[in-house]
Each structure stands twice: as C-alpha cells, then as structure tokens.
Amino acid sequence: MVKTFLFLTFFLGILSCSKEKSTVKCTEKLTFDQPVKISIENMQLNVLADLFNKGNAKKLNYQILTCNTTQSAYDELLKNINTQINEPSTAFEIVLYTNKFLDDGDVKLSNILGYSLYTYISRGEKGIIRHRFYRKENSVFIENKAYNMQTRGIITNMLTYIIENEFSIERGKPKSYILIRSENRPIINLKNERDDFYLKKKLNKLFSLNFKEAPGGGTSEDCGGMCESNPQSVCEQDLLHNDYDCRSQPGGICPEESMVDALYNNGLLSTDSISAIFNSEIHYNFRDNFLQSSNKGQKYIEYYYALGEMLVDNIPLLLRVKTARTLFKFNTCALLLLNAKDHPNEILINAQLNSEIISLLNEYKNIMPNNSEYILILDAIISDVNYFSNKNISYIVSNLN
C-alpha cells in the first residue's frame, strides 16, 4: 500500500514552509583577475573573470568562470548567439559550455559545446525566470526542450548537471562553463520560487520513471564544488551582487500558505474560519508525529512538495474555497489518526466524504489535464481514497506500518 495516506497529504498542510535564505556564501569574494578572450564569428569579447578551480586545484574535471561585461559588448555577444540559435532571445545572462579548462583564457567557437540562456518574463509587478538550453550538434545549435523550464534563479547545480550529462565528453576530461552577466539586467521580482529542474528530478526519483519532459539521466547534480561546507544545499547566484549564496534546495513552495493568502486577500472566508480550517498545530503534529515516522509517510511529504510546485498560482478561487471546506473535515481525520489507539473501529472516510473528495480531485485534474506527472499523482490519490473508504482506523494504520 505505497500510497496509503497520499490523500491526506493532499489536503493537510504538512510542510515546514520555511522560506529562510541562508547567508552563507558558496565561495570567498569573487576576484575578477583572470583575462578571458571569447571569439565568436566576427566578434571578440575581452573580459576579466573569476576562475573557480584554477589550475584544477580542487581535482575536479571542470572549471567555472563568472564575468561581467559592458552592455554594448553583451548585446553584441547575444546578437551573435541569436544568429547561431536562430531565435531572438532577450536573455539577461548567458552561459557558455566549453570543452576545455580556461586557465589560458582563450575561448573559440570550436570550443563551445552549447549555451544556456536565462530570460526574465515580466507578468505585471512580478515575473518568472525562464531557462533554455542549446547544444551543438554537427556545428548547429539545437534546443534541448527538456530544459525549457522555469527556474527560481541561476543555480550552479543545474549547470554542472548539464555539462556533466548532456555532452559527449568522456568523464574526467576537462570542460568548463562561463557565466556572463549583462550590465543592465532587469530588476527581478519573482512571482514564486518554482523550479522545474528540481521538480522534474524529484518526480523521476519518486516514481522511478523517465518522463519525456525530464532532464536526461546521469549523475546526481552537485553545486560544482562550490558548496563544500553543505553538500545538501545549492549554490545560487545573487542576482544583485557578484557572488553566490548557499541556499536550501528548491522545492519548498507551501500550498497551504498560498491558499490562505488567496482566501484572505479576496475576502472569501472570514478570518475565524480560515484560522479554524488551516490549523497549523494539527497539521504540523500530523506531519511530525505521524507521517515522518515511516518511510512511506516521508514519501507522501515529497508528493506534497511536488503538487505544491505544480499547482502554485494555478488554483481557481472557487476551488480554493471548496478545498478549504473539505480540509476542515480532514482536520478531524488527522486527529483520529494521531489518536488511533483510542479509535480503532472508527471509519475514517464514509460514503459522503468519499463523494466530496472524489468530486474535488476531479476538479483539480481539470487544471492541468495534459501534465502526465500531475495526473499520475491525482489518480493515485483517487485510487487511495476509494480503497480506504469505509475502512476503520485500525486497518488503515496497520497497512501504513
């Protein structure tokens, strides 16, 4: 019964929902003292860069360069890249992947394996960052659409994953990637912190499947050697300054917090009702003292993270109200499970509650009917709900353990 309590994780706010950002720097202050000459077509870009893993001192098989340039030089570089990819990109940051170490500071077109382009798409006062990846195949740059995705920022873990897994270079052979920032980059105010790269990899791991939209196989991502003090974190470029921060891995979007904000801001439910429905004491207790106690329960929490990232900002207001009303009934279910020994013969989901849940889940399926991973999770929840309807708590708990 792998999905025994998946239906509960969908309704209950079981995440820590922490949005705290680490202030630990991935590296010491960047030193832009490495001359770099990039020659593409009829242009030549001369810049000073910070070179990570100089002389391969860290015994890695790649180096990372970070550099700034004037806006005019950046525009000229982007113009040349747009000609190669045959698209009018307005990227605010360019990543060049190369087939060599860069201690000599010389990059020719023949050395370039591909490009990553980061674009900020404004949606009113806020917006999203979009990443696209182009790989050179027979001297032509072709987009790998698996990496056409929303990201929360520029994270070296993903770039290291790409250079390690998406090029036909023998493992251990020298390679590098260069991050080039525009001088007049846009003011970035994210609508949310969704990161599709981590979402896809998480879903692949959870389901042990290879969805066609997901990044290719290979080694697990790392931060390019830049987060040695905390290997579980990611190294993310500070979009305002010339450095990198160690942060928690993406995947902490909190569906409950988003739901509460929408209900409150639109006056759809009273403050007292919202407080009663979204009872954090019950939800944290259920997560920490029930789900966390088993491997299966921990897996359900991962499902909740995935659903949260896929659904962020996509739930219609009326569906939010319907979800909140159903959630209120599920608070009682959570309390019964937390005190299972006192209620072994209690029926957790009766016929009426089953009908309400299935109707609600079908409405959620209609939000993204073509998203295979999303539908797979919701179908699993529906199957779960039907299986455990009219079963007593003793039976349900025994199947979890």
Q: What is the pLDDT of residues 58-84, one digit of tens each?
A: 888 889 999 989 999 999 999 999 999
271 close to 264: Cβ distance less than 8 angstroms:
yes
Q: Look at residue 186 in the predicted model and tell me its pLDDT.
A: 87
Q: Minimum mean pLDDT among 34-43, 206-215, 266-275, 350-359: which range?
A: 206-215
When the pLDDT of each residue in the chain is averaged and rounded to a whole number, the result is: 81
Reported as a single tens digit per residue, the pLDDT across 186-243 is: 889 887 777 788 777 776 766 654 444 444 444 445 666 666 666 667 788 888 777 8
User: How many Cα neighbours within 13 Å face the side chain of 76?
Assistant: 14
Identify the pLDDT of residue 269: 80
- The answer, yes or no, to whether residue 366 has pLDDT greater than 60, is yes
Which pLDDT belongs to residue 14? Answer: 42
**Where does the pLDDT of residue 377 fall: very low under 50, low under 70, confident under 90, or very high at 90 and above?**
confident
Q: Would you say 93 and 118 are in contact if contact means Cβ atoms under 8 Å apart?
A: yes
pLDDT score of 45: 92
Maximum average pLDDT range among 11-25, 145-159, 262-276: 145-159
Q: Report, as an integer, the average pLDDT of 281-306.
A: 75
**In angstroms, rounded to a whole number, what is the distance separating the alpha carbons of residues 233 and 228?**
9
* Cβ proximity of 65 and 52 under 8 Å: yes
Helix and strand numbers, DSSP H then E, in the chain: 12, 12
What's CA 149's distance to the chain center, in Å? 10
Lowest mean pLDDT among 213-217, 349-353, 363-367: 213-217
Predicted pLDDT at 117: 97
Sign of the CA dihedral 330, 332, 335, 336? negative
* Least confident piece of the model among 176-190, 194-208, 272-286: 194-208
- DSSP secondary structure of 113-148: EEEEEEEEEEETTEEEEEEEEEEEETTEEEE-GGG-
* Nearest-angstrom CA–CA distance, 294 and 296: 5
Higher pLDDT, 71 or 256: 71
> 287 or 228: whose pLDDT is higher?
287
Spatial contact of 167 and 114, defined as CB atoms under 8 Å apart: yes
User: What are the structure tokens assigned to 378, written together?
Assistant: 């919701």
166-173's contacts with Cβ under 8 Å and 24+ in sequence apart are: 166/114, 166/133, 166/135, 166/216, 167/97, 167/99, 167/113, 167/114, 167/135, 169/99, 169/113, 171/61, 172/61, 173/61, 173/99
Highest mean pLDDT among 191-205, 296-310, 338-352: 338-352
Query: What share of the chain in percent tops pLDDT 70?
Result: 80
N- to C-terminal Cα separation, the chain: 10
Q: Decide: helix, strand or coil at residue 342.
A: helix
For position 258, what pLDDT does the model report?
67
Which H or E run includes 38?
strand 34-40
Query: What is the average per-residue pLDDT within 98-123?
Result: 94
Domain ranges of the chain: 6-18+253-400, 34-247
Average pLDDT over residues 363-370: 91
Q: Are 134 and 117 in contact (CB under 8 A)?
A: yes
Concatenate the DSSP letters of all residues of 3-26 into one string: TTTHHHHHHS--S----PPP--BS
pLDDT of residue 396: 83
**pLDDT interval class at 147 (50, 70, 90):** very high
274 burial type by CB count under 10 A (0-12 exposed, 13-18 middle, 19+ buried): middle
What tokens appear for 360 in the block?
């609600």
- Please, are residues 30 and 242 in contact by the beta-carbon 8 Å criterion? yes
Identify whether the C-beta of residue 358 lies closer than 8 Å to the C-beta of residue 388. no
pLDDT at position 38 is: 94
Range name among 41-45, 242-246, 374-378 with the lowest pLDDT average = 242-246
In this structure, what DSSP letter does residue 248 have?
P
Cα radius of gyration (the chain): 24
Q: What's the DSSP call for residue 187?
A: P
CA pair distance 120, 91, nearest whole angstrom: 7
pTM greater than 0.75 (yes/no)? no
